[in-house]
Structure 1
Amino acid sequence: MNWGILLTTAKPDHQTEREVLKATVEYAQVAERLGYSSGWVLEHHFTRYGICPDTIALAGYLLGQTETLNIGTAVTIAPLMHPIRLAESTALLDQLSDGRFHLGLGRGSFPADFEVFKVDPTRTQDSMRQGVDLMMKAWTEERVGAEGEEYSFAPVPVYPKPHTRPHPPVYVAGESPSTVEWAAQNGFPLLLQLGQQDEETRSRVELYNQYAELAGRDPDAVEHVLVCVGHVGATREEAKKEIFGLVKWWGEEGQRDGFGIEDLRQLPNYRYHLRRIEQAALEGRDDAESWISDWLDNNPVGTAEQCAERLNEIIEASGAKHVVLAMEGSGDVEVTKKNMERFATEVFPLVKA
């Protein structure tokens, strides 16, 4: 198993921007000392949900502050950056870090991003797929050009070529069946976020495996990354209590700044997300207090033994070989570092995988 940490750069009221960013670097260094294999940074704009607007810049800094830790993006919002520019930056980090940079891609779900940067949110699926195709060509071919609807330019050589061949690791945040199908056909592992039920995760991976096999790919060779919340406490209730307030704030911040239900109704390429929100409302799961409590029960939150048991169940359901834990829920830097240590010394040794 590979274990990672999620570096959210979330900024609650009691922390300054400087404190958040310094803590992010410290968490990466502590994770490396404790034997974690990866740290993952998030891209967000115009929201305290996360104050890292440039995952490439932050990843480069963290790679320079560590020696063995892989640094990934979960995610870089692909439609907001020209694919050739992203291919150049990715190859550069791949070269300088000897292959420690992992690129995770997503379409984005915060309306202000598309408004400010003048990107059409109805075109995100097409622009991401065409963009990834151009990136692959930039990494593997002498010259690359485009004559498509999203991108059009004369062929150019792209430097540097990556250190990792044929290309650096690329992951896709995939929830909708169409995105899962596209990722499987191209051999891109999924960035999975743990939901309310294991069956949902299991079904998504099974769907991926079916499409991968139809494309002639071996699904067992793919290392999906699964992201969940992790916190160790004296009891499950105490562990939940320690992080509930900040997790609730984080969820509300994301809900307030992300696409609302009326936005999604105008976006045909986000139909899957709309159906999930509508279904949650029909089932009475749109109440923040009860939803978050149930969701935390589904994550490795509790005693060390309970966390290990839950991780065993998650790994069995998802087949994931790489689990990334969001561990900043206490809102206290020292508690977070202790939480990281307890998982490394008390929880991970109990995980059967």
Structure 2
Amino acid sequence: MTEIGLYFDLRNPPHRTGSAARLHAFTLEMCEEAERLGAGSVWFSEHHLFDDGYLTQPLTFAAAAAARTRRIRLGTAILIAPLHSPVEVAEQAALVDLISDGRLDLGIGTGYRKPEYELYGASDRQRYGRTDDMVRRLRELWSKGGVTPAPVQDPIPVWLGYHGPQGARRAGLLGAPLLTPNRESWTAYRAGLTEGGHDLAVARMGGGVQAWVTEDPERDWPLVAPYIGYQVDSYRRHMVDGTGEPAPKPIDPARLVDRDARNPLSYFWFGTPDAIAERIRGLTEGAPVDTVYLWGSVGGMPEEMVAEHVRVVSTRLAPLLR
């Protein structure tokens, strides 16, 4: 069984109508609506110094969502571990887990943007090793004698947002859930679990799928395509900040819809619930994937488009994969 969730980054680009305050309030409304409609989870991301107001504090927003919901799970995908103190993360995550009565999934990763490391006065050297160490330290801090108050879950699941075989193996060595839904990572993840002496029964995979689901693809493509293009171009442009590399040329969104899911920026599927469900089955088949989430909003969409996507994902796509 694969649960379906929704993913929010709270972008507020110039083409979007409405204030940043309204965007945050509306996104909380969508978390409530996703729960009402039966979605399994909502996830929040972290970036800094984006020119469109990208969410910077996912655990803070998760705390707000926790207070507005009762059942749906709350995830970070991802929190940039090397920017933060393990004690800070342990205490904030424990608080979200307490407010939500044990519904937090803490996804962490290394980050990659130089401006973010500079903003925090942090080094990007050995960031994978430091992220691995964060997992170990959080487990210690949540155990007896660690931070207080303790979380509800014992312990909170700490997912590793690693891509590729080396990252999958690292997650396996730690016995941690792997935050990718791509079955191609299962072999290396399984090998890491075995090498680390972990029972394969603890294996868990899940993660984001770049996709938009619609009841009428022909009608909706002209409406959705510009937002897909903006979002992918924004990620690609911000990736080179501080590197001296030129900004990539804008991408044609139509070229993304039929590509394989090699990495998060290599594709963006678009289709009916049945078509996207089939794509997700192909991506996850044979791997221990138990949760997948799609963007609730893309590139600063208007509220009515977001609300419709939340509805279609929660009521039409989710039952096909559950």
- How does the TM-score come out when normalised to structure 1? 0.79
Distance 1:296 1:216 in 2: 33
CA contact (8 A) 2:179 2:206 kept: yes
CA contact (8 A) 1:6 1:324 kept: yes
| Per-residue Cα deviation, 1:286-338 (whole angstroms, up to 9, x for no partner) | 87216534449965521232223223223316442111011313812122212
Does structure 1 residue 180 correspond to structure 2 residue 180? no
Superposed displacement of residue 238, structure 1: 4.4
* Equivalent in 228, 232, 235 of residue 247 of structure 1: 228
> Which amino acid in 2 is paired with 1:205?
W
* Equivalent in 310, 314, 317 of residue 340 of structure 1: 310
CA contact (8 A) 1:239 1:303 kept: no
Residues 1-353 of structure 1 mapped to structure 2, 5 A cutoff: 1-13=2-14, 14-15=16-17, 16-48=19-51, 51-142=54-145, 157-165=146-154, 167-192=155-180, 201-259=182-240, 288-289=251-252, 291-295=255-259, 300-316=269-285, 318-329=287-298, 331-351=301-321
Distance 1:240 1:109 in 2: 31
Larger Rg: 1
> Which amino acid in 2 is paired with 1:42?
S
Superposed displacement of residue 190, structure 1: 1.4
Distance 1:263 1:291 in 2: 27
Superposed displacement of residue 121, structure 1: 1.1
CA contact (8 A) 1:239 1:302 kept: no
**Unaligned segments of structure 2, at least 5 residues:** 262-266
> Which amino acid in 2 is paired with 1:158?
V
**Unaligned segments of structure 1, at least 5 residues:** 143-156, 194-200, 265-280
- Tell me how many residue pairs correspond in the alignment: 310
Structure 1 counterpart SS, 2:256: helix
| Per-residue Cα deviation, 1:8-40 (whole angstroms, up to 9, x for no partner) | 212222243123212211110110000111100
Superposed displacement of residue 75, structure 1: 0.8
CA contact (8 A) 1:244 1:329 kept: no
Structure 1 counterpart SS, 2:126: helix
Distance 2:314 2:98 in 1: 30
- How does the TM-score come out when normalised to structure 2? 0.86
Superposed displacement of residue 343, structure 1: 2.8
Identity of counterpart residues, as a percentage? Answer: 23
Structure 1 counterpart SS, 2:54: coil
Distance 1:93 1:172 in 2: 19
RMSD of aligned alpha carbons: 2.7
Structure with more relative contact order (C-alpha pairs < 8 Å, separation 6 or more): 2
> Which amino acid in 1 is paired with 2:56?
P
> Which amino acid in 2 is paired with 1:288?
I
Distance 1:211 1:130 in 2: 16
| Per-residue Cα deviation, 1:155-201 (whole angstroms, up to 9, x for no partner) | xx521222211x101101101433222211112111127xxxxxxx3
Distance 2:54 2:141 in 1: 30
Structure 2 counterpart SS, 1:191: coil
Distance 1:319 1:34 in 2: 25
> Which amino acid in 1 is paired with 2:303?
V
| Alpha-carbon distance change, 287 to 11 in structure 1, aligned in 2, over 3 angstroms | closer
Which one is further off, 340-349 or 319-328? 340-349
Structure 2 counterpart SS, 1:73: strand
